[in-house]
Amino acid sequence: MALGALIGAYQEDDSGGLTALLPLAGRTLVEYQVRCAAAAGASPIVVLVERIPAALNQAFARLANEGLNVIPVSDGSEAAMRFEPGELVLLIGDGVAPPLDLLTGIGTDAEPLVLTVADDEAHQDFERVDGNSRWSGVALVEAQILGATAAMLGDWDLPSTLLRRSIQSRARLVPVATANEPLLARNSGNLAQFERALLASSRGDRSDLASRYVLPAVEDFATERLMESSVPAEWLLHAALLLTVAAAFAFTRGWLWAGLVLLVLSAPLDLVAKRLGMIRLRPLSETAVTGRLLWPAGGLALIALGWWQARNGDGWGAALAAVVGCAFAEAYRLESRHSEVPIPISLFSRRNAILGGVLFAIAGAWTGYLIAVLAYAAISFFFVQFLAHRLHSQLTTR
């Protein structure tokens, strides 16, 4: 069944501005609501707003640039005209910040329902539904009820009246699990806790030693600071690539420590970029050109270091170690990508190789580092082959 969305954006916050414009993860609350609705499969997404100040218009422009079908309307009748008669409408209350999982879960339902929270002191700002529950701020309503409600409303509050009529039409009441409850925001302080929850949920499994044991503190700090800014996540990927290419140039000039520092600075940036994308509900594409160039750029830096070492006393062996190390690293990457076996975090990764270089640099063993990278990549490649062959043997003997 087709799914649309109706979002309220007309109530004022405690400071007199629109609640929809409260800051959340470097953007606005209404942008978060729209992206949640889009992730649940809703289209069109109608935003009910009495006036459109410049800041709200800018938010709509950003959403439009992302390809999201957002339609601002000024009254209920105009809102009702945007939906087909047999359509279900995802209703999100003004100032409500729902967890993404909650909306994607109910987006698959094919019947009207009202999500509720407990009628207690913790939820006293939510609208009461009955003696035991209050409206969570999220519901699925029928488009024809929306049209009928808008026709008889006058100056009444559309979402609230629509909620009542849906309940009278026997929409199913569904309690929300405590861990998945929406937040009702009336000021920026209310959203601080929700932002912390978004930050925590953006932490994913880490696939290498560096990201699991060395970089988490740096990654958390950078993500927390940047999510409150308007810095696009894609810029961090660009910065990581630029730093890596700059490191390669530094190696060709003999600025070895400067090159290594640039590589270390680049190490966590792609992780932070991915987390910002998740927090802002704009996941970075796995096929993004900048992200895919980080691996070959790292190889370029390694070859540049080998070239410098070869020209400055260590002979052709240093350059050969760099080139063969890059070849084994690429072979390992291809083998692990097409393998179904779980990859141990101790095996080769760009970040592991970069941070491991610090120990060799302290000892002044730059060529030793190149040899170590070669050995590390080769061992990782052959070990993944061993795991894949063992799995294949186990499957064929069953």
Tokens (6 digits) for 230:
């308007």
pLDDT band at 156 (very low <50, low <70, confident <90, very high): low
Model pTM?
A: 0.83
> What sign does the dihedral 132-123-105-31 (CA atoms) show?
positive
pLDDT at 1: 58
Q: Give residue-wise pLDDT tens across range 108-153.
A: 667 889 999 999 988 888 988 888 899 999 999 998 888 888 777 6
- Reported as a single tens digit per residue, the pLDDT across 320-361 is 999 999 999 999 999 998 888 888 999 999 999 999 999 999
Domains of the chain are 3-190 (3.90.550.10), 205-396 (1.20.120.1760)
Can you tell me the distance from the alpha carbon of 270 to that of 293, in angstroms, rounded to the nearest whole number? 12
Helix axis angle for 158-168 and 143-153, nearest 10°, is: 120
Residue 398 CB coordination number (10 Å): 4
